Chains A and B, each alone.
Chain A
């Protein structure tokens, strides 16, 4: 379980101003909201990449804010993080990048063949052909492929928690659907707790258990996809209608022969 308790964070201006939210074990929770409202900041506080100025973040009862170095390492080992722009290591091959998602101790105990098998499996899960990409450097891959390698690195360590920071941004419809499917499968089959920060509202509403709207530094709505769609709250309505209209326009322009 992940608990965000009255989280405050400011950079030059306040970003999070008292966010509280609980993510249950095995749940898929989507965090949506306009750009620049601190969705990624909130996600990063989960594993201590950003430390809140006030409040606390607890992962399975362990306070990330007050954790010792060893406790924080344990929390990070428990969680996989999929970065917005993949954040692959430029000097490493795809194999090395994905294998880096397995801890050193586990790598030693698994042995090289098992590590290779796990890496191959993770790449296949994200719809990549291992034989084609294993030896390539990130610079030799397309943006969508890099993104999928980032997802593979996030899942290869078989984490209990997966944090996705805009996992489908920049993906074509086929791979977008594949990643959505993957998030659902991982969460459902393996009981992985998933927090998905996304702008793909329609996509995420199809598979998430609950959706949270972050706006103006506060949680404005937390509920099921059905409640979100039918909410009478003006803010939720305005955000949802605008997003759906924007996504529909994008889908239309992306369809061959569609309106341009």
Chain B
């Protein structure tokens, strides 16, 4: 391939990528703005928000608890395995507590929400799109933003901090139990270590992450659902793309938290 063609191909790829990013950024921005505006105007039915809160929040509790218990146990066991030589074992309390609260609780709960709720939202709205139900809403003089998008985004934003709070508590308790069973570190020593390096701001930091993830996940899920085209295959493609998009968005925003809020 000649250098000119190579440069042209590069520009084409860059241009296509740029237009893709611009289209999604614009779409997400408009959807977020529309949802907040419809909420402020009182166009969102509380009944819809409560139904979504049940689906997003209450029904996610079992899976969030299982994930949190396992993350607490694994962190405790692996930490204990590494600390058996020079470092005092009570430091494990701080390592487990901080790991769960700062990172594992919010991120693993977000991953659960992506798989359980985000994928479902995209598939549901994508199916509505390809079966003309979204067109039907418009034809009946209804806007899909207050009817479909806003209740899901509000529910995600409200439910996520509660779920992360639960995951944090359950994860730490599981860590205490695992530390006792695996390395013989008693609860008092564990809590002593945890208190030694404890900073109340960490809990606030964890809940800020939860709010951000709880907003971003349904926002992307609804956006990708509304972009769905092309029948059942299109719904499958959109759902996969949506899950990838949500995971990348969560991990990128997670990586931005320490430089922005932990200095």
Chain A residues with CB under 8 A of B131: 85, 87
Query: CB distance A89 to B133 under 8 Å?
Result: yes
Query: CB distance B139 to A49 under 8 Å?
Result: yes
Chain A residues with CB under 8 A of B128: 89-90
Chain A residues bordering chain B, tally (CB within 8 A): 22
Interface 9-residue window, one of A1-9, A71-79, A169-177, A185-193: A71-79
Query: CB distance B135 to A49 under 8 Å?
Result: yes
Which B81-138 residues have C-beta < 8 A from chain A?
127-128, 131-133, 135-136, 138
Chain B residue, CB-CB nearest to A89: B133
- Distance in Å: Cβ of B136 to nearest Cβ of chain A: 4
Query: CB distance A77 to B141 under 8 Å?
Result: yes
Q: How far is the CA of A90 from the CA of B136 in the complex (A)?
A: 12
Cβ of A81 under 8 Å from chain B: yes
Query: CB distance B140 to A87 under 8 Å?
Result: no
A-B contact count (CB 8 A): 45
Q: How far is the CA of A48 from the CA of B131 in the complex (A)?
A: 18
Query: Looking at chain B, what size class is its interface with the partner chain?
Result: 10 to 19
Query: CB distance A79 to B139 under 8 Å?
Result: yes
Query: Which of A73, A80, A83, A88 lies in contact with B135, CB distance below 8 A?
Result: A83
Cβ of A100 under 8 Å from chain B: yes
- Distance in Å: Cβ of A143 to nearest Cβ of chain B: 13
Chain A residues with CB under 8 A of B135: 44, 49, 81, 83, 87
Which A55-93 residues have C-beta < 8 A from chain B?
73, 76-77, 79-81, 83-85, 87-90
Chain A residue, CB-CB nearest to B139: A81
Chain B residues with CB under 8 A of A79: 139
- Distance in Å: Cβ of B249 to nearest Cβ of chain A: 27
Query: Which of A48, A77, A81 lies in contact with B136, CB distance below 8 A?
Result: A81
**Could you pull out 7 A-B pairs where Cβ atoms are within 8 angstroms?**
A49-B135, A81-B136, A85-B131, A87-B133, A88-B136, A100-B142, A103-B140
Residues of A participating in the B interface, judged by any CB pair closer than 8 Å: 44, 47-49, 73, 76-77, 79-81, 83-85, 87-90, 100-101, 103, 153, 157
